């Protein structure tokens, strides 16, 4: 097994091959819209773009996003080993034009040209008891990242208190303010509780769930579904052209908070919902 080439392949798949759950949700959204409507035309264009990207192995969007890796390692494996190989793979994937160079020094404004820089790619490592390595990759577009936000409850402008009703109000507020920016239809990852940083981290990790997956907590599962219904009544639609689908799904996670704080982090993923998983087991590589 050539591990570097396996990571290049992971990056290629993430950038060019939209996962079936997202493509199916986009097809269903297309079918729900009225014939001749702008929304139907937008979905048709998105789906055609998805097909061409897969067939031609070209990025499905010109912004191939920031590279965010969540890696689960067996005991004894070294993080540095994976970091170095993935950086080499990112450089090669950029040369092959699976990725646009998206790592810019914030002080000098200089693009590194290869998607490698300080904290780029970004790595979250966890140790686990299994004997296999799991690498989950997300390519996070800049436009959709810009409409992500965080609220501190209570939040006066929409009368949101420190309860689930308040959480619902700020999520609707965030999607209403986005008004299609971030390339709707979006999928929301919500992190309730924790501190400033961990609420965002929790919200983003929700994106590794498959569309249609529900939180094991029944109350939160119902909350996810009812929020999705409410958000789709906003009539913002794909790219803000109006329509029946503003979000493809809503994923909510929660964690304990400090008594004095109540954060709600909202991460927004655009229609180009790119994430792939690679598992390394007994010397073989599997992709999902």
Tell me the CA end-to-end span of the chain in Å, nearest whole number. Answer: 18
Could you tell me how many residues make up the chain?
A: 288
Instruction: Tell me how many residues contact ligand SF4 (CB under 6 A).
Output: 12
- Structure tokens, 149: 């936000």
Examine residue 63 and tell whether it contacts ligand SF4 (CB under 6 A).
yes
Would you call 124 helix, strand, or coil by DSSP? strand
Are the beta carbons of 265 and 199 closer than 8 angstroms?
Answer: yes
CB of 147 to ligand SF4, least distance (A): 8
Examine residue 26 and tell whether it contacts ligand SF4 (CB under 6 A).
no
| 46, 239, 245 from 26: Cα distances, Å | 8, 13, 9
- Structure tokens, 166: 């308040």
Task: Report which of 133, 109, 116, 106 is spatially closest to residue 67, judged by C-alpha positions.
Answer: 116
Specify the residue, 18 or 153, whose C-beta has the smaller distance to ligand SF4: 18
Examine residue 50 and tell whether it contacts ligand SF4 (CB under 6 A).
no
Which residues 83-142 are close enough to bind ligand SF4 by CB under 6 A? 141-142
User: Looking at 115, 144, 187, 206, which residue binds ligand SF4 (CB under 6 A)?
Assistant: 144
Specify the residue, 223 or 268, whose C-beta has the smaller distance to ligand SF4: 268
Examine residue 143 and tell whether it contacts ligand SF4 (CB under 6 A).
yes
CB of 36 to ligand SF4, least distance (A): 24
- Structure tokens, 10: 């992971």
Would you call 282 helix, strand, or coil by DSSP? coil
At a CB cut-off of 8 Å and minimum separation 6, what does 228 contact? 247, 249, 250
Specify the residue, 160 or 231, whose C-beta has the smaller distance to ligand SF4: 231
User: Looking at 11, 22, 39, 61, which residue binds ligand SF4 (CB under 6 A)?
Assistant: 61
CB of 187 to ligand SF4, least distance (A): 11
Examine residue 224 and tell whether it contacts ligand SF4 (CB under 6 A).
no
User: Looking at 59, 148, 166, 182, which residue binds ligand SF4 (CB under 6 A)?
Assistant: 182
Are the beta carbons of 153 and 190 closer than 8 angstroms?
Answer: no
Which residues 262-281 are close enough to bind ligand SF4 by CB under 6 A? 270-272
Backbone angles phi, psi at 38, to 5 degrees: -55, -40
Residues that bind ligand SF4 (CB under 6 A): 61, 63, 65, 141-144, 182-183, 270-272
């Amino acid at each position: 097994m050539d591990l570097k080439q396996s990571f290049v392949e992971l990056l290629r798949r993430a950038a060019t091959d939209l996962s079936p759950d997202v493509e199916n949700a986009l097809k269903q959204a297309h079918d729900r819209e009225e014939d001749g409507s702008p929304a139907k035309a937008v979905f048709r264009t998105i789906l055609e773009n998805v097909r061409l990207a897969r067939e031609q192995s070209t990025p499905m969007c010109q912004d191939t996003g920031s590279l965010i890796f969540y890696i689960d390692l067996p005991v004894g494996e070294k993080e540095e080993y994976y970091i170095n190989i993935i950086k080499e793979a990112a450089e090669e994937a950029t040369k092959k034009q699976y990725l646009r160079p998206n790592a810019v020094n914030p002080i000098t404004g200089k693009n590194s040209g290869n998607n490698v820089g300080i904290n780029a790619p970004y790595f979250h490592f966890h140790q686990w008891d299994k004997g296999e390595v799991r690498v989950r990759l997300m390519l996070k577009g800049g436009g959709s990242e810009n409409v992500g936000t965080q609220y501190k409850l209570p939040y006066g402008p929409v009368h949101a208190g420190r309860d689930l009703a308040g959480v619902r109000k700020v999520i609707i507020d965030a999607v209403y303010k986005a008004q299609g920016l971030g390339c709707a239809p979006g999928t929301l990852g919500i992190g309730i509780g924790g501190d400033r940083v961990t609420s965002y981290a929790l919200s983003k990790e929700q994106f590794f769930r498959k569309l249609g997956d529900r939180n094991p907590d029944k109350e939160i599962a119902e909350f996810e579904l009812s929020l999705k219904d409410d958000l789709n009544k906003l009539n913002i639609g794909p790219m803000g052209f109006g329509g029946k689908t503003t979000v493809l799904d809503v994923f909510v996670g929660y964690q304990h908070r400090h008594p004095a704080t109540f954060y709600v982090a909202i991460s927004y993923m655009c229609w180009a919902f790119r994430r792939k998983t690679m598992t390394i087991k007994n010397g073989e590589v599997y992709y999902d």
